[in-house]
């Protein structure tokens, strides 16, 4: 249970602890997170993606860079993440800006994916209009023929993004809706200012 009087000094350590607990209660998709992006004029969009890496550098997910989210992040590099672990009565909100992962990181993760998922990254024109499902299936078959073995290169339009946090909020459900909300805001010196919010 969260110690509401003594929040951790390091938000990354606190997140790692909460994520470890989340996996014990949601073993399938504890790493599912809502990713919010927006257009340059401020129109928002959100969708669920999977967290694939987290450390003191930030929070990583992978996608087609020509997808709607990829295009929005290209135009506006600010993003927000939201984790919700209902069995634990917890949420984590993260706000910051994004950068691309290195090619080596993207290559390594792409190689770890199931073969059909790697082929799908070539076959799918993510977020584009699909006239009929059969077109996707034909494109998948074409790439299966083109890459019959396990050696499938990473498409140039498929990579990862790292969300570099500037703000965290750790939300813990408490009785009578008197929830505990702990915030971490990045300081000018790179450290973290810790605070509380009314529920």
Q: Which of 115, 128, 177, 181 is catalytic?
A: 177
> How far are the Cα atoms of 17, 22, 96, 98, 119 from residue 171, in angstroms, in the given order?
14, 14, 18, 23, 39
DSSP state of 155: P
- Find tokens 């087609």 and name the residue: 64
CA within 13 Å, CB half, 113: 22
What are the residues whose beta carbons fall under 8 Å from the beta carbon of 30, sequence distance 6 or more? 19, 22, 23, 85
Q: How many Å is the maximal CA-CA distance in the chain?
A: 60
Asked about 115 being catalytic, the answer comes back as: no
What are the residues whose beta carbons fall under 8 Å from the beta carbon of 151, sequence distance 6 or more? none
Q: How far apart are CA 95 and CA 97, in angstroms?
A: 7
What are the residues whose beta carbons fall under 8 Å from the beta carbon of 109, sequence distance 6 or more? 52, 53, 62, 160
Q: Residues with catalytic annotation?
A: 177
């Amino acid at each position: 249970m969260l110690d509401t009087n003594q929040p951790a000094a390091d938000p990354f350590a606190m997140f790692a602890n909460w994520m470890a607990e989340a996996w014990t209660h949601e073993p399938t998709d504890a790493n599912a997170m809502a990713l919010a992006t927006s257009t340059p004029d401020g129109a928002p969009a959100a969708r669920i993606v999977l967290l694939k890496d987290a450390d003191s550098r930030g929070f990583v997910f992978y996608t087609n860079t020509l997808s709607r989210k990829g295009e929005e992040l290209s135009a506006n590099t600010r993003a927000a993440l939201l984790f919700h672990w209902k069995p634990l009565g917890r949420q984590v909100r993260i706000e910051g800006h994004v950068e691309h992962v290195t090619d080596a990181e993207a290559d390594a993760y792409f190689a770890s994916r199931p073969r059909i998922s790697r082929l799908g990254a070539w076959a799918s024109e993510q977020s584009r209009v699909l006239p009929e499902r059969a077109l996707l299936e034909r494109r998948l078959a074409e790439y299966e023929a083109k890459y019959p073995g396990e050696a499938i290169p990473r498409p140039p339009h498929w990579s990862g993004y790292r969300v570099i946090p500037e703000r965290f909020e750790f939300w813990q459900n408490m009785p009578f809706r008197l929830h505990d909300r702990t915030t971490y805001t990045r300081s000018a010196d790179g450290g973290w200012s810790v605070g509380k919010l009314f529920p």
